[in-house]
Amino acid sequence: MHDDTRSPFHAYLKELHGRFRGLDAGAVADYIPELAKAAPESFGIAFATIDGHVYSTGDSTTAFSIQSVSKPFAYGGALERLGASEVLRKVGVEPTGEAFNSIVLDQQNNRPFNPMVNAGAIAVSALAEGDTHEDRIEGMRALFSGFAGRSLDIDEAVFRSEAETGHRNRAIAYLMLNTGMIDRPPEEVLDLYFRQCALRVTAEDLALMGATLANNGVNPRSGQRMLAPEHVRDVLTLMMSCGMYDYAGEWSYDVGLPAKSGVSGAVLAVLPGQLSIAIWSPPLDAIGNSVRGVATCRQISQDFGLHLFMNAASVEEVVRRIAHADRQSSLRIRNPRERDLLASHGGRIALVELQGALYFASAERMIRQLQPLAAEVDYLILDTRRLNSLDPAAEAFVDRFLAGTRDEGVEIAVAEIASRPADAAAALDRLADRNGLRRFDTADAALETYEEMLLEKIREPFDFSRFSLSTIELFKGLDDAQLKHVEAVIQPMQFEAGDRILRRGAEGHMFFVIARGTVSVLVPTGSETAMRIGCIGPGQFFGEMAVLEGGARSADIVADERTICYGLTADHLETLGHQDPRILSTILTNMAREFAGRIRRGNDIISALQ
């Protein structure tokens, strides 16, 4: 598990906490004496993602009573047990425009207006199932524990305080009994309702409960399905229209997230398919909502465009694949010594293929995957060829991640920017400019460059002033006398950068061994630009297939830089074979060994892609 304190999301929450900590408006609820004991300065924030990861800051692990934030979950539990049609007979779905503890009821339909006000929540408590009252209490506690992913308990002091002072709720309950809206003894129903409101939770608990709703009813940590998708829809709909009491309309307009508040100072907001936000801060405004909670949620929504009607995406897996250079090397053909070094040290180079769309929640998941990776490598390559979009929220967090990673000394490159849609390309260019990232046309070019940088650090220096055949792998195993025979027939050649050494389709009479420099293997693509499918460096050979088979060249070979080669023809090989058959057999054996190595590396790349 990586250190969340280094995450840009954690850093953002800390900044947010610092910004609103000094907001001292509002007052702690005192109509329930036990709630009046809460410290006004208490303030905790937690995010939870749909895969169960929680970011938090401040007093996010301090327990408090859940109060009215319990109402959506109790309502969801009733839907799950009884079905929507049965619950609708007892509780409506219309906003009231009244205070949360209003005694106004829907007399036309003989039911409370909705389950987010006290009357509706009491009616939901009257629907609890169980043979005894104790069974119903335990069933309620088990339901909420399932949403939270841990066993929750009841704050007995808060329960007693509510039970002793909840006279308005008693009036509501008896009125509903009188009209037949409930059919259980009011004191028994209220006992269950007060205990439900007195459940002890933390901001982190609430965030995970909200993430269960965001995750279509499945607790993202336990995997337990708490609600069917259609019941999640119903719960979130009522949270959107009724969850913030008579502030619900302005909340929907400004913040645009399904939410529920409670008089203990909690606010829970849910972005379906992505995440949930939980805030606890006891001072309330005149409506009964947490002052810091409302301000914080509004700021988060504005900062990252989380309004539900601006962002209907679900989190997808943005990281398509992660590979390391010890398993997937570049297309450059290397000598055995370099291959051994990359096999041992190539894990210090990581290639990350990105795909789809980056927005708030998908960027969080991507960064969470990349942070531990970045701590283990020296070079990081982001292949963006399948990345289609990058919104401002994602750009802000990716920017923080890249800056922090660069500060840790990691070299970062981004590939394939030019091939992206215009908006995504512009965002990637801004990220590259701000963070000093290297740009490459292809991921392979970036991989080859970082391989060279890594090899430069760890391999023994090569004396380029000497071109001894004995240092070349193709002639390994030949003694001094045999090497002199080779030197007598081999043809030294020099090419400048950009020179075409071999042309596709031409007859092959000579193959080449590189002593210094590199060449690229190019094939046509149907456009004006040829595709680079390989790179060959010192000690390697090319052009041998046409010579051995007597056919035409299958690709163009172009010098990347000043390159010195040795040329050998089929006639040269025949001459060497007559002079000493062991020369020819050794060269062919070394050639076959290299062919086998290339096939093996190709298989490794294919395996890594699966």
Model confidence at 464: pLDDT above 50: no
pLDDT for position 538: 86
pLDDT at residue 463, as a whole number? 45
Is 245 annotated as catalytic?
A: yes
Q: Which has more confidence, 76 or 465?
A: 76
Higher pLDDT, 102 or 479: 479
Q: Are 431 and 437 in contact (CB under 8 A)?
A: yes
Q: Give the pLDDT score at 3.
A: 60
Q: Rounded to an integer, what distance in angstroms lies between the CA atom of residue 300 and that of residue 51?
A: 20
In this prediction, residue 158 has a pLDDT band, given cuts at 50, 70 and 90, of very high
Phi-psi region at 366: left, alpha or beta (left = phi > 0; alpha = psi -120 to 50): alpha
Treating both helix axes as pointing N-terminal to C-terminal, what angle do 422-435 and 392-407 enclose, rounded to 10 degrees? Answer: 30
Q: Alpha carbon of 520 to those of 27, 212, 451: distances in Å?
A: 72, 53, 16
pLDDT at 361: 86
Q: Which of 193, 359, 379, 450 is catalytic?
A: 193
> Residue 163: is its pLDDT beyond 90?
yes
Collapsing DSSP to helix, strand or coil, 265 comes out as coil
For the segment 155-162, the average pLDDT, to the nearest whole number, is 96
Is 193 among the catalytic positions? yes
The pTM score is: 0.75
Is the CB of residue 168 less than 8 Å from the CB of residue 110? no
The tokens of 49 are what? 């993602």
Whether residue 419 has pLDDT greater than 90? no
Q: Check residue 117 and report its DSSP letter.
A: S
User: What is the tens place of the pLDDT at every residue in 290-333?
Assistant: 999 999 999 999 988 888 887 555 556 899 999 999 988 888 88
The mean pLDDT of the chain is 90
From 12, 55, 75, 245, active-site residue: 245
Query: Bridge-partner residues for 566, per DSSP?
Result: 492, 513
Residue 99 pLDDT class (50, 70, 90 cuts): low
68 classed as catalytic: yes
Model confidence at 83: pLDDT above 90? yes
pLDDT at residue 442 greater than cutoff 60: yes
* Catalytic choice (201, 263, 513, 521): 263
pLDDT at residue 465 in the model = 41
Our answer to whether residue 344 is catalytic in this structure is no
What's the confidence (pLDDT) of residue 602?
A: 67
Taking the CB of residue 265, how many other CB atoms lie within 10 A of it? 31
User: Quick one: pLDDT at residue 116?
Assistant: 93
In 71-133, DSSP assigns E strands to none
Active site annotation includes 263: yes
Cβ-proximal residues to 447 (8 Å cutoff; 6+ apart), any chain: 325, 328, 329, 330, 349, 351, 381
Contact 21, 409 (CB under 8 A): no
Q: How far apart, in whole angstroms, are the C-alpha atoms of residue 190 and residue 180?
A: 16
The two beta strands, 332-333 and 500-502, are unpaired
Radius of gyration of the chain (CA): 35
Tell the residue number behind the tokens 């309330």, with chain if given. 284
Q: Cα separation of 250 and 268, whole Å?
A: 16
pLDDT confidence band for 585 (50 / 70 / 90): very high
pLDDT at 44: 98
Q: Which domains does the chain have, with CATH numbers?
A: 4-304 (3.40.710.10), 319-458 (3.30.750.24), 469-609 (2.60.120.10)
Please say if the pLDDT value at position 214 is more than 50.
yes
Q: Which two tokens stand for residue 72?
A: 């959506």
Residue 109 pLDDT > 60:
yes
The one catalytic residue in 7, 60, 65, 68 is 68
3-state secondary structure at position 175: helix
pLDDT at residue number 1: 42
In this prediction, residue 605 carries a pLDDT of: 60
Please tell me what DSSP assigns to residue 460. Answer: P
Handedness of CA 220, 226, 228, 234 (dihedral sign): negative
Catalytic residue among 70, 71, 398, 513: 71
Provide the strand spans (E) within 244-378: 259-261, 266-271, 275-280, 319-324, 332-333, 349-358
Which pLDDT value is given to residue 152?
A: 98
Q: What is the predicted pLDDT for the residue at 94?
A: 87
H runs (alpha helix) in 274-335:
291-304
Evaluate whether 393 touches 366 at the Cβ level (below 8 Å).
no
Q: Residue 178, Cβ neighbours under 10 Å: how many?
A: 10
> Can you give the pLDDT at residue 199?
98
Helix (H), strand (E) at residue 457: helix 443-458
Range 221-225 average pLDDT = 96
What pLDDT shows up at residue 315? Answer: 58
Do 413 and 438 touch, CB atoms closer than 8 A?
Answer: yes
Tokens of 602: 């190709």
Answer yes or no: are the C-beta atoms of 306 and 360 closer than 8 Å.
yes
Q: Averaged over 186-209, what is the pLDDT?
A: 97
User: Residue 469: which pLDDT band, with cuts at 50, 70 and 90?
Assistant: confident
In the numeric block, which tokens belong to residue 136? 């119903």
Q: Give the lowest-confidence range in 16-20, 353-357, 535-539.
A: 535-539
Confidence of residue 62 (pLDDT cuts 50, 70, 90): very high
Distance separating alpha carbons of residues 508 and 502, to the nearest angstrom: 9
